[in-house]
Chains A and B, each alone.
Chain A
Amino acid sequence: MTLHVELVSPEAAVWQGDVESVLLRTIGGGEIQFLTGHAPFLGALDICSIEMRLPDGTLETCAVRGGFVEVSNDRVKILSDDADRPEHIDPDEARAARERAEEILRRVEHGAEAEQAADEIRWQSARLRAAGHQ
């Protein structure tokens, strides 16, 4: 028994396939893992790196910046505005972007700009994680 995962962004279907388990992070709920037979579930995604374990043991990852996940009848639908597969992630660029955001966060502590920078740091970290870097 496997779970069928469909990962779609507004511009394209990003990934789909059958997996053993899906690990992701929801807003307010922390990390959650889905196996086959999971109860129907609907959650808002946090900025995170989704990890999908395939039946042959390999690990597929994808960085998402928010979105939704719906689980029902062993089907996992993941919707995200911003989804990056590892092959589209340049670790050096991501690291540089994270450092820039950290720089901003050192200067401003409150307000929208600081929030944006904090999101950016989490997003770039998620991308690095998805690409297999820390």
Chain B
Amino acid sequence: MAGGQERALRRRIKSIESTKKITRAMELIAATRVVKAQERAAAARPYAEEITSVILDLAKAGAATEHPLLRDYPDARTACMVVITSDRGLCGAYNSTVLRLAERELREHREHGLDYSLVVVGKKAETYFRFRNYRIDASFLGVTDRPTYDQAKQIAAAFRSRFENGEFSSVDLVYTRFKNAASQEAVVRRFLPLEVREREPSEGPTADLEYEPSPTAILNELLPRYVESRVFSALLDASASEHAARQRAMKAATDNAEELKINLTRIMNRARQDAITTEIMEIVGGAEALAQDKTEKEDLLPGLLMPEHLFAQQLDKTDHRPTFH
């Protein structure tokens, strides 16, 4: 059994080593992706900021605020939720946190007697809700690895017109916000109706802006783009969070593999030493039995099987006592 155990352990160590190589590679890939995703989020920020400031300027200038995207629809009995998860696993608790939050929110809506409409982004959300027999109104796959603005447009289109038609009382966005490389949190953000909060009228030009065409016409053009840009920045946030979560999960996996490898190597060495010791003991025991036999019957085997003859090199030369067991 001794040799078999050693062989089995050796095989396990090998498989752990190759798993570790894979997780290490995934960790490094995720690390570069986090940086890239952060760069893209930074590149998208100027647009989002400018569009927000333009909207605020318009609101201050008194552009008509009865735009369908700004209005409340108290009669609507449906709450729309957009849930953003990843397409692939191996990213720790990233998906389950978002999904748990989304489902809790959904239940809350139902308790308030509201119907729901689900828009899911990412395969994980789709399979989760499909398995639990939720009705999915639209699903988008292959987005979160590297979101593009066109995809954000499509996602926004999935709920915008229905909101404008008064079908939805609200649209919430559930996704993972990227705080920094070490911490991300799942959040629910009220998305529509849009809230245009008045800013302190301290900076920038105010009412004496020239408009071409009218402020209301500009606002009508602007708001849909604002919605798209908000969806886009949520997608970018989610994407950066996903890669960060994957990096962390893979780092933990690599560390665990390393630890497991060390432990198994230790066990394997012990097993090998045990096997060697047992073998020596068997030989020594055998030789001793023969030596004892010899003292009784002198015609049997010569003293060649004494340990010092068999292991001339290995045995301690000073220790000739043949009886340690």
Contact = CB atoms under 8 A, between A and B. Distances in A.
B152 A10 contact: yes
B57 A44 contact: no
Nearest to A27: B213
Interface string A16-48: 000000000011110010000001111110000
Interface string B29-66: 00000000000100110111011001001100000000
A64 to B, nearest CB: 13
Interface string A81-110: 100000000000000000000000000000
Interface string B211-231: 111010110011001001100
Contacts of A39: 208, 210
B209 interface: yes
Contact of A13 (B43, B51, B148): B43
Contacts of B228: 10, 81
A81 B225 contact: yes
By DSSP majority rule, is chain A's interface helix, strand, loop, or mixed?
Answer: strand
Given A42-B58, A43-B218, A10 B229 contact: yes
Nearest to A78: B50
Contacts, number: 89
A62 interface: no
A9 interface: yes
A113 interface: no
B159 interface: no
A1 interface: no
Nearest to A9: B47
B149 interface: yes
B212 to A, nearest CB: 4
A44 B217 contact: yes
A8 interface: yes
A77 interface: yes
A12 to B, nearest CB: 4
B50 A42 contact: no
Interface of A: 6, 8-13, 26-29, 32, 39-44, 66, 68, 70, 72-73, 77, 79, 81
21 contacts: A6-B46, A8-B47, A8-B50, A9-B149, A10-B149, A11-B40, A13-B43, A13-B46, A26-B213, A28-B212, A41-B209, A41-B211, A43-B211, A68-B51, A70-B50, A70-B57, A72-B204, A79-B54, A81-B149, A81-B153, A81-B228
